[in-house]
Structure 1
Amino acid sequence: MNCRKGYFVFSFFYFSVFMSAGVYNTFFPYWLSYKDLSVIQISVVLSVPFAVKIIADPFWGAVADKNFSRKRLMMFLSAATAFCYSFYLFVSGYYSAMAVALLCGFFWSSVMPIGDSIISISSNVSKERFGAMRMFGSLSVLLMVIVAGFLFTLSGDLTIVMLMFCFFMTFIAVCLLPEPAHYNSALTKVQKHLVCNGCASVSAPRVLMIMLASSLCLGAHGIIYVLGSLHWVRLGYSPVEISSLWAAALLSEIVIFFLADKRYLIGLSPVCCILSGALLGIIRWSGLAIVESYEGILILQSLQGGTLALVVISIMRYSQSHIPENFRSRYFGRLAAISHGTIPLIVTVISGALYEGISGLAMAMGAILCGASVIICIREIYMSRSHDIGSLRTN
């Protein structure tokens, strides 16, 4: 696949796969509340897919890496997800919602990680233009927030219909993806060094630490996805104002992804990107815990470009520079199991319970997670510099 065609195919994949996020993250909690679920019950239902990811993502990632057609696997998973979401139309209560969430999460959770592995292997396209391609994902979320907000005012069940449509679009996008004919057995200089030192495995301590640092930053966003819209409704903001708050976050993402391929961001190492995102996360989540004015929340939401986009960019760059191609699906699978599984699961369940007691202060959990990420990043930077100095002395 030539670079130009690959750019459009991968951009369409990100556009389609993130369409569902625009509906799910902003209005699906609303829809659950219309089914008479409490805040705690909603948080538990939303946490079910996170719990499933802990098992499903490593499982499907290993299947994809074991010489199985990644494209065909993704086609099956996306089609199964679209079908399973139709069961929400028959949900009548808490337990039935949990059962459907479990089923949908099992099939949907690995579509994105496996897609990322395909794109990372297509290095002739993704290394230079990943930010521009990923930007279309944020654009689709922004578009769907606006469309879903309008449709939700007509009928709550249109939320589920929209989600089914989004997953069908993902199926079409997956059909257009290339199937990597083979893995590139040639290793980069960094990868050779990691292999020699036993660090090329996705289970290597340093790789796991990078996974954990980025996962803490990304996992913190689970708080805003669960509590954001519900909290702002309690503060008295209208659906239009809430949509604009989400739009501010998405616009900042778009800006960062657009700038990701420029030289002033390319020079940042993956660890520095994660560190920057974590520091901005401390500011954002601490602020959202106490700020109630519309203008203040709008400013804090605009930090999402740093708290999310920078970290996503670092993950892709790290995989391309440090992880051999035949480990990529497992790398992204395990990363997703941590960043979109374990951490959001814990955060979602705890934040729902905390919100009943301390209201918006529950969002401060995100600052704690980002603080832990800062510590890990500083440790990694220190260890890298110590290793470089040691190598110079040896030479």
Structure 2
Amino acid sequence: MFVLTSFNFLFYAVYSIIIFFLPLYLRAKGLMTVEVGLVMATGALVSIFAQPFWGIISDRKKTVKRILLLIFFSAAIISIPLFLANNFLLILILMFIFMFFLSAAVPLTDSLTYRYAQIKRKNFGSIRSWGEIGVAVSALCVGLLIETIGIRYLGFIYVTLVFILLGLTSLVSDVENKVEPVTKEKVLHLFTNTKVIWFLFLVLLIAIPHRMNDSLLAIYLADLGAKESHIGRAWTVATLCTVPVLTGMAYLIRRFNEFALFVIAGFMYSLRWILYSFATEPITLIIFQIMHSLTFPVVFVSAITYLVRIIPDELRATGQTMFAAIFGGVAGIIGSSVGGWIYDFYSPQAAYYSGSMLALIGALASFLTYLSLVKDRRSKVGKSRKHEVL
């Protein structure tokens, strides 16, 4: 378990560098905010088909570890010209190739962790929380480091850490999962399952402003006068606050039901973004980052728990990569590109206000869906009791 928790810690520490600091790095190269948004959206675009692709390969080959080793090595090599490039079009192309590999690492890592937790009867949230601790440490340390030596060294920091991650990944054990073989028919059925597709649409509505914030927060803070270390602190506050929530999610799900928690988190997201729209100083945004603990970990764990319940075991990695493709892919495209456009041509306040309204629509739609599920469940229970009486 120590190796797996260490792997989660280092992987999310490395991955967070791309999410938190790449937008700032690209802006330092002279790209406009809208161009930065398009680059981040390009990464999200490729993840839409790359994540399910690698998920299907993982399910068919019955291995996550070997796929992750291939992904990390390829991403490390491609990241070198990505960080060296100065032309917008070249950066766009290299980002596309880079994210074809790296984007699938998150759902595959979570799939490996979830399988281990189920088989070993461990708390998934507790293991996954080490990933959040890794994000917090990375955000703080990398923020301080690039403020000291300059953001131009971000690529060197990233590549060095990825090769260390490769060595640690080689120590992780694949978790055996003896399930039925994956067929084309089963995969097609999953992609046309209306229950799954509707839930992923609800995820999309809530995820769009989340992904917008991932791309714009560093720029928003910088425009308010923040230094690189402040940006690191903002994400450190956000991620450290999620640790107790992730650890307690197993209890909360048993107590309240995962879909109900998903609905509550949707409303909290809406409140979070409306508060961001009123920020006038960096410290205000940093304080508001505490609300990350009441939104992302709740949506993340409750969504995965719900999908695991409605998706066959043999397609679990595929299902989780579908979730990641929506949350990080489709939502990333819309959130990064449209959010960047609103930011440049209107204001950051307008971008976050729009995000709040969209999250509110997603929360309301999720609430109506939850009521429908409760009604159907009660109807089935009533019919079952009536049948027993007869």
TM-score, normalised to structure 2, is 0.89
Q: In the alignment, residue 118 of structure 1 is paired with which amino acid?
A: L
1:15 counterpart residue number: 9
Q: In the alignment, residue 384 of structure 1 is paired with which amino acid?
A: L
Query: Quick one: which of 348, 368, 381 aligns to 1:379?
Result: 368
Query: Quick one: which of 40, 55, 61 aligns to 1:61?
Result: 55
- Give the conservation status (yes or no) of the 8 Å contact 1:48–1:102: yes
- Give the conservation status (yes or no) of the 8 Å contact 1:36–1:93: no
Could you tell me how far 1:269 is from its partner in structure 2? 1.6
Return 5+ residue gaps in structure 1 as ranges: 1-6, 186-194
Could you tell me how far 1:266 is from its partner in structure 2? 3.8
Question: Does 1:181 find its partner at 2:169?
Answer: no
What is the distance in 2 between the residues matched to 1:143 and 1:51?
A: 28
Question: Does 1:359 find its partner at 2:354?
Answer: no
- Give the conservation status (yes or no) of the 8 Å contact 1:213–1:274: no
Range with bigger deviation, 247-256 or 75-84:
247-256
What is the distance in 2 between the residues matched to 1:13 and 1:273?
A: 28
What is the distance in 1 between the residues matched to 2:175 and 2:236?
A: 35
- Give the conservation status (yes or no) of the 8 Å contact 1:49–1:341: yes
Query: Quick one: which of 238, 254, 259 aligns to 1:271?
Result: 259
Q: In the alignment, residue 75 of structure 1 is paired with which amino acid?
A: L
What is the distance in 2 between the residues matched to 1:150 and 1:100?
A: 27
1:190 counterpart residue number: none
Could you tell me how far 1:299 is from its partner in structure 2? 3.3
- Give the conservation status (yes or no) of the 8 Å contact 1:290–1:360: no
What is the distance in 2 between the residues matched to 1:20 and 1:151?
A: 14
Question: Does 1:231 find its partner at 2:226?
Answer: no
1:217 counterpart residue number: 206
2:388 counterpart residue number: none
Could you tell me how far 1:126 is from its partner in structure 2? 7.0
Could you tell me how far 1:316 is from its partner in structure 2? 3.1
181 and 296 in structure 1: CA distance in 2 versus 1, 3 angstrom threshold: closer
Range with bigger deviation, 175-184 or 311-320:
175-184
- Give the conservation status (yes or no) of the 8 Å contact 1:26–1:225: yes
Q: In the alignment, residue 277 of structure 1 is paired with which amino acid?
A: A
2:300 counterpart residue number: 312
> May I ask how many residue pairs the two structures share in their alignment?
376
Question: For 1:66, what is the secondary structure of its paired residue?
Answer: helix
1:349 counterpart residue number: 337
Could you tell me how far 1:200 is from its partner in structure 2? 8.4
For residues 134-186 of structure 1, the C-alpha deviation after alignment (integer angstroms, 9 at most, x for no partner) is: 1111111111112211221313232112221332243234323332434246x
Could you tell me how far 1:295 is from its partner in structure 2? 4.8
1:280 counterpart residue number: 268
238 and 71 in structure 1: CA distance in 2 versus 1, 3 angstrom threshold: closer
Return 5+ residue gaps in structure 2 as ranges: 181-185, 385-390
For residues 241-262 of structure 1, the C-alpha deviation after alignment (integer angstroms, 9 at most, x for no partner) is: 333222221222123123324x
- Give the conservation status (yes or no) of the 8 Å contact 1:121–1:325: no
Q: In the alignment, residue 324 of structure 2 is paired with which amino acid?
A: A
2:387 counterpart residue number: none
276 and 128 in structure 1: CA distance in 2 versus 1, 3 angstrom threshold: farther
- Give the conservation status (yes or no) of the 8 Å contact 1:215–1:335: no
Range with bigger deviation, 348-357 or 371-380:
371-380
What is the distance in 1 between the residues matched to 2:295 and 2:215?
A: 17
Could you tell me how far 1:116 is from its partner in structure 2? 2.1
Could you tell me how far 1:127 is from its partner in structure 2? 5.8
Could you tell me how far 1:77 is from its partner in structure 2? 0.9
What is the distance in 2 between the residues matched to 1:318 and 1:389?
A: 18
What is the distance in 2 between the residues matched to 1:81 and 1:242?
A: 25
The percent of aligned pairs where both chains have the same amino acid is 18
Query: Quick one: which of 152, 160, 165 aligns to 2:155?
Result: 160
60 and 166 in structure 1: CA distance in 2 versus 1, 3 angstrom threshold: same
Could you tell me how far 1:265 is from its partner in structure 2? 5.1
Question: For 1:74, what is the secondary structure of its paired residue?
Answer: helix
- Give the conservation status (yes or no) of the 8 Å contact 1:200–1:324: no
66 and 90 in structure 1: CA distance in 2 versus 1, 3 angstrom threshold: same
The RMSD of aligned alpha carbons is: 2.3
What is the distance in 1 between the residues matched to 2:225 and 2:282?
A: 10
What is the distance in 2 between the residues matched to 1:134 and 1:328?
A: 17
TM-score, normalised to structure 1, is 0.88
- Give the conservation status (yes or no) of the 8 Å contact 1:273–1:311: yes
Q: In the alignment, residue 161 of structure 1 is paired with which amino acid?
A: F
Consecutive aligned runs of 4 or more in structure 1 exceeding 4 Å deviation: none
2:132 counterpart residue number: 138
What is the distance in 2 between the residues matched to 1:119 and 1:301?
A: 26
355 and 78 in structure 1: CA distance in 2 versus 1, 3 angstrom threshold: same
Could you tell me how far 1:280 is from its partner in structure 2? 0.7
Question: For 2:170, what is the secondary structure of its paired residue?
Answer: helix
What is the distance in 1 between the residues matched to 2:273 and 2:360?
A: 11
